[in-house]
Amino acid sequence: MSVKILGKGKKVARLRRHARLRKKVVGTPERPRLVVTRSNRHMVAQIVDDTKGHTLVSASTLTAEFAGFEGTKSEAAKKVGLLVAEKAKAAGIEQVVFDRGGNKYTGRVAAVADGAREGGLAL
Protein backbone atom coordinates (compact mmCIF):
# COMPACT_ATOMS: atom_id res chain seq x y z
CA MET A 1 0.00 0.00 0.00
CA SER A 2 1.77 3.08 -1.23
CA VAL A 3 0.34 6.39 -0.11
CA LYS A 4 1.67 9.62 -1.54
CA ILE A 5 1.16 12.52 0.85
CA LEU A 6 1.85 15.90 -0.69
CA GLY A 7 2.28 19.30 0.88
CA LYS A 8 4.16 21.01 3.64
CA GLY A 9 3.59 21.66 7.31
CA LYS A 10 3.57 19.79 10.59
CA LYS A 11 0.43 17.74 9.93
CA VAL A 12 1.62 16.57 6.54
CA ALA A 13 5.03 15.66 7.96
CA ARG A 14 3.37 13.62 10.72
CA LEU A 15 1.16 11.83 8.19
CA ARG A 16 4.21 11.07 6.04
CA ARG A 17 6.09 9.66 9.05
CA HIS A 18 3.03 7.63 10.05
CA ALA A 19 2.67 6.08 6.58
CA ARG A 20 6.38 5.20 6.57
CA LEU A 21 6.13 3.69 10.06
CA ARG A 22 3.02 1.60 9.35
CA LYS A 23 4.81 -0.21 6.52
CA LYS A 24 6.96 -1.90 9.17
CA VAL A 25 4.86 -1.99 12.36
CA VAL A 26 2.15 -4.67 12.37
CA GLY A 27 0.34 -6.11 15.38
CA THR A 28 -0.11 -9.88 15.65
CA PRO A 29 -2.10 -11.92 18.18
CA GLU A 30 1.17 -12.80 19.98
CA ARG A 31 2.52 -9.25 19.90
CA PRO A 32 -0.22 -6.67 19.27
CA ARG A 33 0.38 -3.01 18.39
CA LEU A 34 0.32 -0.27 21.04
CA VAL A 35 -1.08 2.77 19.20
CA VAL A 36 -0.57 6.23 20.69
CA THR A 37 -2.83 9.07 19.57
CA ARG A 38 -1.93 12.54 20.75
CA SER A 39 -3.94 15.73 20.60
CA ASN A 40 -3.18 19.09 22.12
CA ARG A 41 -5.22 18.20 25.18
CA HIS A 42 -5.55 14.41 25.46
CA MET A 43 -3.66 11.14 25.03
CA VAL A 44 -5.18 7.86 23.90
CA ALA A 45 -3.42 4.48 23.93
CA GLN A 46 -4.91 1.36 22.36
CA ILE A 47 -3.61 -2.16 21.94
CA VAL A 48 -4.75 -3.51 18.56
CA ASP A 49 -4.61 -6.94 16.92
CA ASP A 50 -4.17 -6.05 13.23
CA THR A 51 -4.98 -9.55 11.95
CA LYS A 52 -8.56 -9.20 13.23
CA GLY A 53 -8.71 -5.41 13.31
CA HIS A 54 -9.89 -5.42 16.93
CA THR A 55 -8.94 -3.14 19.79
CA LEU A 56 -8.04 -5.39 22.71
CA VAL A 57 -7.36 -2.78 25.41
CA SER A 58 -7.52 1.01 25.60
CA ALA A 59 -6.81 3.82 28.02
CA SER A 60 -7.27 7.55 27.65
CA THR A 61 -7.22 10.84 29.51
CA LEU A 62 -10.91 11.07 28.59
CA THR A 63 -11.92 8.17 30.87
CA ALA A 64 -13.33 8.31 34.38
CA GLU A 65 -9.94 7.42 35.93
CA PHE A 66 -8.79 10.94 35.06
CA ALA A 67 -11.70 12.80 36.66
CA GLY A 68 -10.11 15.36 38.95
CA PHE A 69 -6.54 14.56 37.79
CA GLU A 70 -4.24 17.47 38.42
CA GLY A 71 -0.81 17.38 36.90
CA THR A 72 1.09 18.16 33.74
CA LYS A 73 0.20 16.69 30.38
CA SER A 74 3.36 14.54 30.54
CA GLU A 75 2.31 13.12 33.91
CA ALA A 76 -1.12 12.33 32.46
CA ALA A 77 0.52 10.61 29.48
CA LYS A 78 2.63 8.47 31.81
CA LYS A 79 -0.50 7.52 33.76
CA VAL A 80 -2.18 6.51 30.45
CA GLY A 81 0.80 4.21 29.78
CA LEU A 82 0.51 2.67 33.24
CA LEU A 83 -3.26 2.15 32.83
CA VAL A 84 -2.95 0.52 29.41
CA ALA A 85 -0.20 -1.78 30.75
CA GLU A 86 -2.34 -2.76 33.73
CA LYS A 87 -5.32 -3.56 31.49
CA ALA A 88 -3.06 -5.45 29.05
CA LYS A 89 -1.64 -7.60 31.85
CA ALA A 90 -5.20 -8.43 32.93
CA ALA A 91 -5.97 -9.45 29.34
CA GLY A 92 -2.86 -11.67 29.19
CA ILE A 93 -0.76 -9.44 26.94
CA GLU A 94 2.95 -9.31 27.82
CA GLN A 95 4.63 -7.89 24.69
CA VAL A 96 3.57 -5.18 22.24
CA VAL A 97 4.92 -3.35 19.21
CA PHE A 98 5.00 0.42 19.74
CA ASP A 99 3.28 2.60 17.11
CA ARG A 100 3.96 6.26 17.79
CA GLY A 101 1.45 7.31 15.15
CA GLY A 102 3.90 9.44 13.20
CA ASN A 103 4.62 11.62 16.23
CA LYS A 104 8.22 12.14 17.20
CA TYR A 105 9.36 9.92 20.07
CA THR A 106 9.71 12.65 22.66
CA GLY A 107 7.66 14.32 25.38
CA ARG A 108 4.20 12.87 25.91
CA VAL A 109 4.60 10.06 23.38
CA ALA A 110 7.75 8.86 25.14
CA ALA A 111 5.98 9.25 28.51
CA VAL A 112 3.26 6.81 27.40
CA ALA A 113 5.94 4.30 26.39
CA ASP A 114 7.80 4.77 29.68
CA GLY A 115 4.57 4.29 31.64
CA ALA A 116 3.78 1.11 29.70
CA ARG A 117 7.27 -0.25 30.41
CA GLU A 118 6.92 0.59 34.11
CA GLY A 119 3.57 -1.21 34.10
CA GLY A 120 5.29 -4.38 32.89
CA LEU A 121 4.82 -4.38 29.12
CA ALA A 122 7.76 -5.30 26.90
CA LEU A 123 8.00 -2.79 24.04
**pLDDT exceeds 70 at position 2:** no
For domain 26-117, is the CATH number 3.30.420.100? yes
Boundaries of every domain in the chain: 26-117
Quote the pTM value: 0.88
Q: Phi/psi at 63 (nearest 5 deg)?
A: -85, 175
**pLDDT exceeds 60 at position 66:** yes
Kindly report, residue by residue over 7-61, the tens digit of the pLDDT. Answer: 889 899 998 989 988 888 988 899 999 999 999 999 999 999 999 999 999 999 9
- Strand positions, DSSP E, 7-120: 33-38, 43-49, 54-60, 97-99
**Selection from 114, 120, 121 nearest residue 43 by Cα:** 114
